Structure 1
Amino acid sequence: MDTTKIEALIHRNPRSVVLAAIAAVGAPWVVGNYLKFLALGKSGLSPLGPLGWIIAVTLTAFGRETVSTAEYEKASIKERWLETPVERRGARPLTGWHCVPHRQIDRMPTDEIAKRLKAIFEKHVAANPNLVQTTLSPHEKTVPGMIIHPDIPSPHKDAIQGLREIAHIHPIDHSLHVILSPADSKTAIDLGWAERHPLSGVSRFLPLPSGYLLVYAPRDEEELEVVERILVASMGYMTASRSVA
């Protein structure tokens, strides 16, 4: 096609030409971003395929930063369940670009530590049959979730907004999502053990309280012990109990 014909085409179809140019430039980003979404593993959006990715990208636009803690000081609930742990060593793990699913993407634990974490989760479910039980995670919809026992009324707004789910483990990276009290959320984030979900506390239309946190995967015995204490603190807060076994 000679230059004259190209100029005539652009003149007659400027909108089509612009859209084609945008598509040509944006296609590599779209493909790359979709592959990054898939690499985060299964989630409630996974069965939707490309539509799930579009939803994830859209939700990410509404996310916020994840490590500030000033808001927790203003909360009406002042109680603590988490004994102040030591500061976590090293930098925080990186998390994926997408806020759904919310996953860490480096500094993974060994298979042995991952097995121990799962065993700890199951141990506390078995030891507290009157407080908690497991079911399909109301948030993830692909993994077991620890929830408040049906016989226990929701003790606070966080339990209602959090769909009564206490915690779940992500099989791909072995991080956890938990809900902590405001004071415990501040401690866990400030000492480097967790970060807030980007959508937590963003809108009343999203059932994620501000204490909905990603707890980083433990890397050794010391970190495993702290993560267990965080899990127990979440169980105590969400069931309003001081006798979690």
Structure 2
Amino acid sequence: MFELPVRPGPEPRTRGPIPHGQLNQISPTTMQEELWQRMRSLPGVYLAPTHVPYPEARAIHLAPEFGTGPEDAFIKRSREFAHLHPQQDGSLHMTLPQLVKKEVTEAGWGIPHPIQNTQLVYGPRDREEMETVWKILLESYAYARGKSTQV
């Protein structure tokens, strides 16, 4: 079973549905960049524009031979499964299995997108939060690869 610690403090303010993002408690730029480097280094990942109306977002896509997950493991029937919002926001959207979405929401790490199949995950504010956000992102990656045990 996928479990997360409860995110400390109040949840950040958000906006949306389009664009959907985080308004305060912004992740430090250095953490955003570290997270981006981790995201883009996953095996089978390639970089391409996002398929959502937030052109400044940096998206990761999964090559077909790596991505054998269900249709809803990808954003808008593309190969994209996650993207990182611009520095003034620092949150992410990603696809996740339903049980993981529920845990992310209940533990206070994010909220479902109001009109898409993605989950908004709040940007990490410190090193400990970085590891939790990375754990969530790895679930998105496993889901897109067809290897999630949380479905």
Q: Which has the higher contact order (CA 8 A, sep 6+)?
A: 2
1:38-59 Cα shifts (integer Å, max 9, x gaps): xxxxxxxxxxxxxxxxxxxxxx
Note the residue ranges of structure 1 that are not aligned, 5 or more in a row: 1-79, 200-207
Aligned pairs for 1:95-244 within 5 A: 95-96=14-15, 98-124=16-42, 128-129=43-44, 132-139=45-52, 140-152=54-66, 154-159=68-73, 162-163=76-77, 164-171=79-86, 172-199=88-115, 208-209=116-117, 212-241=118-147
Distance 1:148 1:112, change over 3 A: closer
In the comparison of the two structures, how many residue pairs are matched? Answer: 145
Partners of 2:73 and 2:140 within 8 A in 1:
no
Give the Å deviation of 1:153. 6.1
Q: TM-score, normalised by structure 1?
A: 0.54
Note the residue ranges of structure 2 that are not aligned, 5 or more in a row: none
Three-state SS of the structure 2 residue aligned to 1:162 is helix
Three-state SS of the structure 2 residue aligned to 1:91 is coil
1:45-91 Cα shifts (integer Å, max 9, x gaps): xxxxxxxxxxxxxxxxxxxxxxxxxxxxxxxxxxx6xx312110011
Distance 1:185 1:192 in 2: 11
Distance 2:71 2:131 in 1: 29
More helix by share: 1
Distance 1:148 1:162 in 2: 14
Distance 1:153 1:222, change over 3 A: closer
Q: TM-score, normalised by structure 2?
A: 0.85
Higher Rg of the two aligned structures: 1
Aligned pairs for 1:17-32 within 5 A: none
